[in-house]
């Protein structure tokens, strides 16, 4: 049966969008929430919020804590996440991420392209007491991160779409590239050596090295990055870590089944 359409819009699309917004809120908050808090965060009225929450409970994507009447992500969300984890090939690549974290002593991220940003989908935390936290689900700017820049450098379509007609770039820190020309020079260097750097461009005090995970055509669909506090990553360590990260990224690309796309 085809969806009902009125005035060019799919009937019920707004409700679906709101349900996804509720699920994203629970994902990002990482704890239980009451209906009032959900309504306030999303700018919805209480009755609408309650209907959406109850529908998600009925489908198993939310569950209710009977002690405080708050809600939390249910088994439906867990099973969906596990299926996505497997479909992304994360079970296969996780050992390689662990090995890179162990050999470098630093945190390791796996990120994938999601439109005009990159999203962290897996992370291995450093055992060091001083570290930067960037949990799965974190949205990463393409122009101001090692992961984002390596995705731009090895995906011509994304680079063209991101920088077309752009002269000035949003500066997140004083070290972020301010112009498209400056960023393009960085991307050319990244392509030449096979890995990128982030010299406190997205967060002051944090430096990173990343390499692309490419498909059979050599196009980057994902990337891995090693993060460390700037005090543990002087310039010389960029040259040490770059080849290590690039080797790990190539290993991961060989582990994925033919035709796999993040």
Mean pLDDT of 195-212: 96
**Tens digits of per-residue pLDDT, 68-106?**
889 988 888 777 766 665 666 667 788 999 999 999 999
Report the 10 Å Cβ neighbour count for 9: 11
Output the DSSP codes for 224-249: EEEEEEGGG--HHHHHHHHHHHHHHH
- What are the two backbone dihedrals, phi and then psi, of residue 123, each rounded to the nearest 5 degrees? -150, 140
Residue 61 to residue 165: CA distance in whole angstroms: 42
Q: Dig out the tokens for 171 from the structure.
A: 């500066």
What pLDDT band is residue 137 in, cutting at 50, 70 and 90?
Answer: confident
Domains and CATH numbers, the chain: 5-79 (1.10.10.10), 88-255 (3.30.450.40)
What is the helix (H) or strand (E) element at residue 192, kind and residue range? helix 180-193
First-last CA distance in the chain: 30
Entry pTM: 0.73
């Amino acid at each position: 049966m085809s969806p009902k359409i009125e005035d060019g819009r799919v009937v019920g699309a707004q409700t679906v969008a709101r349900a996804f917004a509720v699920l994203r809120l629970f994902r990002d908050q990482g704890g239980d929430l009451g209906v009032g808090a959900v309504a306030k965060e999303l700018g919805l009225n209480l009755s609408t919020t309650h209907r959406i929450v109850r529908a998600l409970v009925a489908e198993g994507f939310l569950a209710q804590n009977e002690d405080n009447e708050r809600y939390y992500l249910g088994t439906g969300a867990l099973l969906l996440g596990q299926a996505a984890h497997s479909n992304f090939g994360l079970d296969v690549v996780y050992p390689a991420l662990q090995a890179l974290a162990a050999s470098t002593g630093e945190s390791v991220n796996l990120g994938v392209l999601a439109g005009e940003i990159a999203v962290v989908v897996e992370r291995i935390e450093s055992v060091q007491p001083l570290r930067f936290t960037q949990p799965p689900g974190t949205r990463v700017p393409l122009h101001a991160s090692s992961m984002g820049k390596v995705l731009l450098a090895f995906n011509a379509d994304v680079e063209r779409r991101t920088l077309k007609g752009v002269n000035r770039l949003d500066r997140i820190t004083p070290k972020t590239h301010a112009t498209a020309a400056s960023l393009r020079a960085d991307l050319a260097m990244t392509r030449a050596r096979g890995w990128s750097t982030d010299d406190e461009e997205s967060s002051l005090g944090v430096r990173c090295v990343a390499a692309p995970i490419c498909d059979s055509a050599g196009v980057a669909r994902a990337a891995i990055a090693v993060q460390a506090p700037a005090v543990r990553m002087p310039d010389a360590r960029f040259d040490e870590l770059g080849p290590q990260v690039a080797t790990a990224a190539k290993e991961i690309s060989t582990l994925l089944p033919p035709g796999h796309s993040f």
